[in-house]
Amino acid sequence: MNDSDLDSLASVPAEPGEVGLVAPQDYTSDEPFAFDCGRTIPGFTIRYETYGRLNETADNAILVCHALSGDHHCAGFHSLTDRKTGWWNNIIGPGKALDTNRYFVLCSNVIGGCQGSTGPLSTDPETGQPYGINFPIVSIRDMVRAQERWLRAIGVKRLHAAVGGSMGGMQVLEWGISFPDFVRKLVPMATTPREGAQAIAFNEVGRQAILQDPDWQDGNYAAGEGPRVGLAIARMMAHITYLSDASMARKFGRRTVARDGKLENAFDVQFEVESYLRYQGKSFINRFDANSYLYITRALDQFDLAERAGSLETAFEPVTADTLTIAFTSDWLFPPDQNRAIVTALLRAGKRASYAELTTDLGHDSFLLESPQLYDLVRDFLAS
pTM: 0.94
Residues 174 and 54 in one domain: yes
Residues 178 and 97 in one domain: yes
Average pLDDT of span 344-364:
97
Candidate from 167-176, 250-259, 334-343 with smallest mean pLDDT: 250-259
Residue 215 CA to residue 217 CA, distance in Å, equals 5
Residues 51 and 184 in one domain: yes
Nearest to 29 by CA among 46, 52, 12: 46
Nearest to 115 by CA among 86, 136, 90, 144: 86
Is the pLDDT assigned to residue 284 strictly greater than 50?
yes
Residue 72 CA to residue 113 CA, distance in Å, equals 10
Q: What is the mean pLDDT of the chain?
A: 94
Q: What is the pLDDT of residue 224?
A: 84
Q: What is the pLDDT of residue 61?
A: 98
Measured from the Cβ of residue 100, the count of other Cβ atoms closer than 10 Å reads 23
DSSP assignment of 294-358 = HHHHHHHHH-BHHHHHSSHHHHTTT--SEEEEEEETT--SS-HHHHHHHHHHHHHTT--EEEEEE
Q: What is the pLDDT of residue 139?
A: 98
Residue 49 CA to residue 26 CA, distance in Å, equals 9
Residues 251 and 359 in one domain: no
Is the pLDDT assigned to residue 14 strictly greater than 60?
no
The C-alpha R_g of the chain, in whole angstroms, comes to 21
Catalytic residue, from 166, 292, 330, 371: name it: 166
Residue 55 CA to residue 153 CA, distance in Å, equals 16
Residues 191 and 160 in one domain: yes
Average pLDDT of span 24-42:
98
The domain boundary, picked from 274, 302, 330, lies at 302
Q: What is the pLDDT of residue 1?
A: 44
Residues 158 and 225 in one domain: no
Residues 37 and 146 in one domain: yes
Q: What is the pLDDT of residue 3?
A: 45
CB-based contacts of 265, cutoff 8 Å, min separation 6? none
> What DSSP element (H or E) covers 98?
strand 98-99
The domain boundary, picked from 302, 321, 336, lies at 302
The domain boundary, picked from 302, 332, 355, lies at 302
Exposure string of 216-254, with b = 16+ CB inside 10 Å and e = fewer, is: beebebeeeebbbbbbbbbbbbbbbbbbbeebeeeebee
Residues 86 and 178 in one domain: yes
Average pLDDT of span 345-367:
97
pLDDT in tens, 187-229: 999 999 999 999 999 999 999 999 999 999 999 998 889 999 9
Q: Give the pairing type, strands 61-65 and 104-108.
A: parallel
User: CATH number of the domain that 139 lies in?
Assistant: 3.40.50.1820
Q: Give the pairing type, strands 25-29 and 44-51.
A: antiparallel
Residues 153 and 179 in one domain: yes
Distance of CA 279 to the CA centre of its chain: 21
Q: What is the pLDDT of residue 268?
A: 87
**Rounded to 10 degrees, what is the CA torsion of 59, 166, 147, 323?**
30
Nearest to 294 by CA among 218, 356, 197: 218
* Coil, strand or helix at 206: helix
283 catalytic? Reply is no
Nearest to 119 by CA among 56, 35, 216, 184: 35
Residues 190 and 200 in one domain: no
Higher pLDDT, 261 or 322: 322
Residue type at position 123: T
Task: Count CA atoms within 13 Å of residue 255 on its CB side.
Answer: 12
Q: What is the pLDDT of residue 158?
A: 98
Measured from the Cβ of residue 143, the count of other Cβ atoms closer than 10 Å reads 28
Q: What is the pLDDT of residue 261?
A: 65
Residues 286 and 357 in one domain: no
Q: What is the pLDDT of residue 6?
A: 39
User: CATH number of the domain that 242 lies in?
Assistant: 1.10.1740.110
> What DSSP element (H or E) covers 64?
strand 61-65
Q: What is the pLDDT of residue 16?
A: 53
Catalytic residue, from 331, 365, 366, 371: name it: 331
Average pLDDT of span 275-287:
95
pLDDT in tens, 257-279: 987 667 778 888 999 999 999 99
Say if CB 9 and CB 79 are below 8 A apart.
no
166 catalytic? Reply is yes
Phi, psi of 187, deg, nearest 5: -130, 80
Residues 33 and 124 in one domain: yes
Catalytic residue, from 117, 330, 364, 366: name it: 364
pLDDT in tens, 146-183: 999 999 999 999 999 999 999 999 999 999 999 999 99
Nearest to 58 by CA among 133, 154, 130: 154
Is the pLDDT assigned to residue 310 strictly greater than 50?
yes
Domain count, the chain: 2
Domain with 133, as residue range(s), is: 3-195+305-383
289 catalytic? Reply is no
* Coil, strand or helix at 266: coil
